[in-house]
Amino acid sequence: MSFLSIEELKELVEQPQGLCVSIYMPTVQLSSETQQNSVRFKNLLRQAEAELKKYELHPTDPSQFLQPASELDEDEFWQQQSAGLALFISEGFFRFYRVPIDLIELVVVSDRFHLKPLIPLLSGDDRFYILTLGQRDVRLVECNRYGITREVEIEGLPKSMDEALQYDETAKDEQRRQGAGAGRSALQAGGSYHGQGGERENVKEDLLQYFLLVDKSLHDFFRNRRSPLVLAGVSYLLPIYHEANTYNFIVEEGIQHNTKERTAEELHAEAWAIIEPQFKADQEKAIDYYHESIAAGKGSNDLNEVIQGAFYGRVEQLFVPIGVQRWGHFDPDSMELEIHNEARPGDEDLLNAAAIQTIFHGGTVYAVEPEKVPDNTPVAAVFRY
């Protein structure tokens, strides 16, 4: 499963020169039906060729221009799909992404790539984190509603309690001896053991010290974030971490079992079941915030105002509809906006541009079904100022 990062989005925005082809298609994942993918793909490539020929500066051989995409059309490729496929082609540039979201068939030829169908992967309104806790393993992963997007590397994050508290081999031997003699874990026995610096307190106090160090190492990463954090680990560890935690957006309910017994997909599914109701409530709050902002003169559903605001970093929160385009051209230097009923050479989807600029400037984008855009308009924005 591939997830488009902000860095890759910037590359797609900045890299192209000349004509750009963006192709989107839903993909079948059942092995017995994947032949449908090849048929659909060929039809979309033919459509792209026809669109390229409409442009005055089209390549002399559109099929050669699209060759990098054509070469993907092999049985083995179609056996390894997610819910959708996105491809981006320009002179000397080719990228494709298997994505876990349903896409509609779409071919766009312009002087820039059309990226709005992928905005739900980048919007930030459903980002959350899972912190897996174990005495011998701590990991932080970033997620959205579709899956785990990456493992976050944190400099100085302890990977184990031994590492954090710097046990020596004598301490480990003593722990093992006590555990074997009691026939149960040191935590269950409430025993004590020795390490560097003399006698240590019981295991719970050591775990608290360990988690204080974990929390401290995460502090800079979470400093300006508000995304929910879900804890995952055996049940006795979670309340101890809550004692150590200083992040204001930790979720009270956690995943209480040994995370090594779950696949990444299962772990994400359990966390999403906890998080989803919170995100739905947050989106309703975002809609209320939009209406309050409109009343206070800090919001707009006028495309001209929103486009200008997005390019100049004024948009704090943006609602755009999935599957809807508004074609035209905006010149940020002259502040002139042209809107056309149908796409013309040199046009771009202005909703796509607004969403990308909002993300680049640190705003939040809600890519929603058209009927869920507030005020039943093509765009709705809250301004920072």
**In the chain, what are the domains?**
6-114 (3.30.960.10), 128-279 (3.30.420), 297-383 (3.30.1330.30)
- What is the pTM (predicted TM-score) of this model? 0.67
Give 99's Cβ-side CA count (13 Å radius).
Answer: 27
Which residue carries 């006028």 as its tokens? 302
pLDDT of residue 119: 81
For residue 116, give the nearest of 295, 108, 131 by alpha carbon: 108
pLDDT of residue 191: 37
pLDDT of residue 57: 67
pLDDT of residue 197: 41
Other CB atoms within 10 Å distance of the CB of residue 308? 18
pLDDT of residue 100: 85
CA distance 167 to 158: 13
pLDDT of residue 198: 41
**Positions in the chain whose pLDDT score sits under 50:** 1-2, 168-172, 174-200
pLDDT of residue 381: 97
pLDDT of residue 124: 57
pLDDT of residue 177: 46
For residue 251, give the nearest of 270, 283, 219, 274 by alpha carbon: 274
